[in-house]
Every structure is written in C-alpha cells, then in structure tokens.
Amino acid sequence: MSTQGGDPNRTKYLLDEAEIPAQWYNIQADLHQPLPPVLHPGTGQPIGPADLAPLFPMELIKQEVSQERWIDVPDGIRDVLRLWRPTPLFRARRLERVLDTPARIYYKYEGQSPAGSHKPNTAVAQAYYNKMEGVRRLATETGAGQWGSALSMACTFFGLECKVYMVKISYEQKPYRRVMMETWGAHVVPSPSPDTQAGRNVLAEDPDSPGSLGIAISEAVEDAATREDTKYALGSVLNHVLMHQTVIGLEAKKQLTLANDEADVVIGCAGGGSNFAGLSFPFTADKLNNTKPSLRIIAVEPSACPSLTKGKYVYDFGDTVGLTPLVKMHTLGHGFVPAPLHAGGLRYHGMAPLVCALYDAGVIEAVAVPQLATFQAALQFARSEGIIPAPESAHAVRAAMDEALRCKAEGTARTILFNLSGHGHFDLSAYENYLAGKLQDYEYPVEQVEAALAEIPQVSVS
C-alpha cells in the first residue's frame, strides 16, 4: 500500500539540474533470462558487433549488448539534457477531482523538451557517440516527424549533418514538422526519394507512392551503409535507445519520494517501446528483484495495431522490406500496414525485444485501447490539466483514467503514474477531426494480420 503524504496542494515536483541522472539503468543486468540472440537476415546466425559497425558507432553497439546494470552518462550529454531536464512530475489533482476518484494520479511530462517529446533523450546520446567516433553525418527516417525533429536538433548541437527521409504523406500533410527540422539545419526529403536505390525502385513502380515507414527505413539504412562518413540512427526499439530513456523513470522515482508516495501502477504508451521503458524500467527493477512484487506495469497500444496483446512472439524483421536483422518480438508481421491512426508513432508492427521479453515472462501487462476513447480521454485531460497530449501519449492518459475509475468503483486509493510522452501541438488536425466528429475507430484487422503473420520467416535457434 502506498504512503500518502506531502503538501495537499502541491502540483509539481521539481528536481534541481544537479539531479539529472549521472547513469542510465540497463535492465539487461536484472533479467531472469538473457534476451534471445539477434539473427543475421541472410544467414539466420547470431550477429556480432562487426555486422552492426557500418550502421552504428561502437560505443552504442557495446551498450546494445552490455550486461552492466549502470552506464555512465557522459558530461557532454548531460550538458545538453540540462536544457530541459529534469522534467516535472505533476500530480493531476484537477483530473482526480473531475474523475471523483480516490486514486492519486501523477504524470511525468516529457513534452517540455524543445522538440516536444521524450525522443531527444536518446537523440542527444546517439549524436554524441557518433561525433566522438568521427562520424560526420547521420541518416534517419521519420513518420509523423517527432523523431526526425529530435535528431535534427541533436545533430545541430554536435555539428553533425542530418538527412531525414520523411514518409511522403506526412511530408505533405505536416509541413511544420518539416520546417522545424530544417530550422535545426537538417536536410529533409520526402520518401520514397530519388536519392537511394530503394527509393528509386519504389518510384519506378509507383511514382505517386505515399511512402511508408518501412520504405523510409530502407532508404536511411542504405544511405548509411553506402557512405563512409554516415551512420544510421533509430528512435526506438533497440536496447540502447530504451536505456537512454531511463532518465525519465530515474527522475520520477526521486520525485515520487518528494511527494512521499510510491507507485502502485506505472503506465506508458508503446509504439516501439522507448517511452514506456524509459519510465517503467527503473520501477520494473523493484519487481524483478522482489522489493515491490505487487507493482503493476502496463504498456498501452492502439487496438488497431496491437502487437503485444494480439501479436505472435517470434523472430521477425524490424522493417517492412526485410533488410534489418531478425529479432524475437511480439509482431503482427513485418508486412502488416496499420490503419491510418492519428497516433503515427504507435503504428509499428513489432515492439522492443526487451519489452516483449518482460511481457512474455508476465512481469508487465499490456492493454489495447481504441482511437475514439483515446481522444475522449485526451480532451478530458486537456480540459482539466491544460496540456494537450500527443495522440500517442493520449493512449497512456486513457489507461490511467481507466485505472483511476476502477479505483473509484472499488473504493481503493492506488497511486497511478503515467508518462505524458509529448504534447500535441503539431497534431491539432487530429483534434480538429475529433471535434468535428470525423474520427473513427478501426476494428482489429484479423485477416490482414493473419496474412502478414503467414509471411514471417521460419527461424529455429539452437
């Protein structure tokens, strides 16, 4: 049971800059079973550091497989994080009153970063290590633009060139995200582009292709693999990316102590898994080592793209085209194209292997929520707490509100902590559509998923 306490009116729990975590938490050290190996897409054999060297700097490859519990955050990274970290922990007193719940609701607000989400926490680290190893230029993909803007900003801080392949339909529909990236000095092209063989192949077949994240990943990977001066950066899924995000949960733990409280339920939305892991892994440690066995940790996904709750736990490609290594994860099939949800960052067929392993082991839970109920929660949140959530983050808001309403029905006062991973200032067209009654729910596409699952490569690991 949580201990209640603190100033009855206090709304923000703030830390001093000196309390930006000096080390990241690496959950691999505490897993009861090591992660299944990552396999080479051609040979089906476990890959080694040399296979990843064309794409990533060695320090990040080492972090990817490290079994050390704590890894130092270099001063050069903390100096940049200082611009917006530590982020505030809010007690959602006004939302609690509206819901008339005995639950205590807290949210960690990552929308305070200059790019508007948690993504810069890893973008800065990735740009830093690339710079240290003499890389001159980074290539990446972006869907809705959150990750692309984070990396553009990070590259400008470290004097790196940045090339962003932006899914063409977003490039056309979200010009302001593109302008943000260009303001930070990045070169942004609509994908498919004529700049890569992958892009040219798609354009030859369909000059009007709207693009997809899978195509954009193929373009960015090809760009990095074919240029000496360029490496690739990914905004989620990989172990080191999730680890860079643990600054969120490490700060939140200290802030809850300031509130004289302790989490009973920890919630985050999950696309590739990085903000969910960033908040929850430092708490998951207490569950894994049995100091807080009753803690509930919940990943929230859209019901139209439910990789954890409906996917298979098998080896699959990380991209749509099938160029990346094979990883064991909950997947809907790499060929599955999710419905055009407004939470673009949650439209991913797979999930971070670390999150999947914990889900498979029953350490964490997952729920899927539909789009309309998610926007309804986002509006209720905006009208009580003020902040307009990113559509992705609104999934966590929905689940937190559902937990708080359960507390009300049961008459129990649990402490709920969730991650508000970003603001929705560039997603107002989604809100406009919701307010005009034009948004719809998408059914779980059983046949489409079955067809995509049938295409998953058959892999046997000895």
Ligand X SMILES: Cc1ncc(COP(=O)(O)O)c(C=O)c1O
Interface residues with ligand X (CB under 6 A)?
117, 146-147, 236, 269-276, 345-346, 390, 392-393, 421-422
- Shortest reach from residue 277's CB to ligand X, in Å: 8
In this complex, which beta carbon is closest to ligand X, that of residue 92 or of residue 407? Answer: 92
Closest CA to 90 of 345, 374, 389, 373: 389
Report the C-alpha gap between 222 and 217 in whole angstroms. 8
Report the C-alpha gap between 364 and 288 in whole angstroms. 10
In this complex, which beta carbon is closest to ligand X, that of residue 199 or of residue 302? Answer: 302
E runs forming strands in 240-392: 265-269, 296-302, 312-317, 326-331, 365-369
Report the C-alpha gap between 167 and 344 in whole angstroms. 11
In this complex, which beta carbon is closest to ligand X, that of residue 213 or of residue 407? Answer: 213
In this complex, which beta carbon is closest to ligand X, that of residue 272 or of residue 306? Answer: 272
Task: Tally the C-alpha atoms within 13 A of residue 184's C-alpha that lie toward its C-beta.
Answer: 26
Closest CA to 242 of 209, 271, 267: 271
Question: Is the bond preceding residue 340 a cis peptide, omega within 30 degrees?
Answer: no
Closest CA to 84 of 251, 297, 240: 251
Report the C-alpha gap between 56 and 126 in whole angstroms. 9
Q: Which amino acid is at 274?
A: S
Report the C-alpha gap between 253 and 258 in whole angstroms. 9
In this complex, which beta carbon is closest to ligand X, that of residue 86 or of residue 143? Answer: 143
- Shortest reach from residue 165's CB to ligand X, in Å: 15
Report the C-alpha gap between 202 and 209 in whole angstroms. 7
In this complex, which beta carbon is closest to ligand X, that of residue 345 or of residue 445? Answer: 345
Angle between helices 120-132 and 146-157 (to 10 degrees): 40
**Non-local CB neighbours of 291 within 8 Å, separated by 6+ positions:** none
In this complex, which beta carbon is closest to ligand X, that of residue 275 or of residue 415? Answer: 275
- Shortest reach from residue 139's CB to ligand X, in Å: 18
- Shortest reach from residue 458's CB to ligand X, in Å: 28
Report the C-alpha gap between 11 and 91 in whole angstroms. 5
- Shortest reach from residue 171's CB to ligand X, in Å: 16
> What is the three-class DSSP state of 313?
strand
In this complex, which beta carbon is closest to ligand X, that of residue 212 or of residue 236? Answer: 236
- Shortest reach from residue 28's CB to ligand X, in Å: 18
Where does 289-338 have alpha helices with state H? Answer: 307-310
- Shortest reach from residue 442's CB to ligand X, in Å: 18
In this complex, which beta carbon is closest to ligand X, that of residue 335 or of residue 350? Answer: 350
- Shortest reach from residue 317's CB to ligand X, in Å: 18
Closest CA to 153 of 183, 176, 184, 122: 184
Closest CA to 207 of 192, 189, 219: 192
In this complex, which beta carbon is closest to ligand X, that of residue 230 or of residue 393? Answer: 393
Number of residue whose CB is nearest ligand X: 345
- Shortest reach from residue 413's CB to ligand X, in Å: 28
In this complex, which beta carbon is closest to ligand X, that of residue 146 or of residue 212? Answer: 146
- Shortest reach from residue 318's CB to ligand X, in Å: 13
Report the C-alpha gap between 168 and 108 in whole angstroms. 32
Where does 53-188 have alpha helices with state H? Answer: 58-65, 75-81, 93-99, 120-132, 146-157, 168-173, 175-183
- Shortest reach from residue 242's CB to ligand X, in Å: 8
